[in-house]
């Protein structure tokens, strides 16, 4: 199981689960906790997002990965990266198979809840969290690491939102070393 981001790089609730979802793949290590439909089902039920033993089809699996990688593409733009129209299109397509509806729980503010079941319902819930976080200002602080090989999702708690790397000790320093080498070559 891929470990969660360090506590100081974790998004606040409820956005944290979206960050966990994006970080269910470790691109640098070539690991993916969602590499099969069954693995996706286990991952979701371990987080109480899906009933244990619920059916997960290959189509569900494909859509979940499209949502994950589409979100990663959006998170890169939060870090100054160029938008990836193809990833966004796949994300839009996968999202079009989900559905949210307003709910009015007694004594609580209205909210959007999934209006579909199974994995589609989980994806709806995650995307609903994304939409709500865009409204409350937390979404733009969730970023994908600027290191091309890493792209790990981290939450930028810095005051001026200037964070670029998931970890200064690893990616940040590698980047510094690389630009130092590049400058030396140019010089
Ligand atoms: Zn990184």
Residue ranges of domains in the chain: 7-186
Specify the fold of 7-186.
Jann2411-like fold (1.10.3300)
Tokens linked to 155: 């939450």
Dist. CA 153 → ligand 1 center (Å): 8
Report how far ligand 1's centroid is from the alpha carbon of 31 (Å). 15
List Cα–Cα distances, 38 to 13, 27, 54, in angstroms: 26, 20, 9
Distance in Å, CA 57 to ligand 1 centroid: 32
Tell me the C-alpha distance between 3 and 6, whole Å: 9
Structure tokens at 21: 């979802």
Torsion angle in degrees (nearest 10) through CA of 25, 126, 143, 93 = 80
- Output the six-digit token pair for 88: 């966004």
CA atoms within 13 A on the CB side of 42: 10
CA of 107 from ligand 1 middle (Å) equals 42
Q: What is this structure's pTM? A: 0.92
Q: How far is the CA of 167 from the centre of ligand 1 (A)?
A: 6
Residue 66: name the closest of 94, 38, 24, 32 by CA: 94
pLDDT tens, the chain, 187 aa long:
899 999 999 999 999 999 999 999 999 999 999 999 999 999 999 999 999 999 999 999 999 999 999 999 999 999 999 999 999 999 999 999 999 999 999 999 999 999 999 999 999 999 999 999 999 999 999 999 999 999 999 999 999 999 999 998 889 887 777 776 777 766 5
The residues facing 103 across adjacent strands are 111
User: Do the Cβ atoms of 86 and 111 come closer than 8 Å?
Assistant: no
């Amino acid at each position: 199981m891929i470990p969660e981001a360090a506590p100081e790089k974790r998004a606040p609730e409820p956005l944290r689960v979206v960050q966990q979802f994006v970080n269910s793949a470790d691109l640098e290590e070539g690991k993916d906790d969602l590499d099969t439909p069954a693995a996706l089902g286990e991952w979701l039920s371990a987080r109480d997002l899906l009933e244990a033993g619920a059916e997960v089809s290959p189509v569900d699996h494909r859509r979940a990965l499209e949502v994950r990688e589409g979100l990663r593409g959006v998170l890169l733009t939060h870090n100054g990266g160029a938008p990836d129209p193809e990833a966004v299109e796949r994300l839009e397509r996968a999202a079009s198979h989900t559905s949210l509806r307003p709910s009015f729980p007694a004594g609580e503010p209205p909210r959007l809840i999934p209006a579909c079941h199974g994995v589609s319902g989980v994806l709806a819930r995650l995307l609903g969290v994304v939409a709500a976080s865009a409204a409350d200002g937390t979404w733009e602080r969730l970023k994908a690491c600027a290191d091309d090989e890493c792209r790990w999702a981290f939450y930028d708690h810095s005051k001026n939102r200037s964070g670029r790397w998931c970890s200064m000790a690893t990616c940040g320093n590698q980047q510094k070393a690389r630009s130092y080498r590049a400058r030396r070559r140019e010089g």
